[in-house]
Amino acid sequence: MAAKTNKAKNLELLDRFKTDVLYKNPKGEYFTSENLAKLSLSSEEKKAKKGLTKIERSEIDKTTDAE
């Protein structure tokens, strides 16, 4: 159930920012620029290899169509 909520939230954010790609850092912050998202990572997160999550509209649409 939570996955559907995340999909809906991600689609809402993609629509709000009028983009096809978002980047989410481990803190739960969203960015439209990969560069800014990388800059938001702390040195501890970089050492622990906690990276960014890339959210693409096309991937969300594929999973929504499959369901």
Q: What pLDDT shows up at residue 46?
A: 79
Cα–Cα distances in Å, from 46 out to 5, 6, 26, 40, 52? Answer: 28, 25, 11, 10, 10
Q: Pick the residue with more confidence: 27 or 50?
A: 27
Domain ranges of the chain: 2-66
Tell me the per-residue pLDDT of 28-66, one tens digit each, with 9 for 90 and over: 999 999 999 999 998 888 778 788 999 999 988 877 655
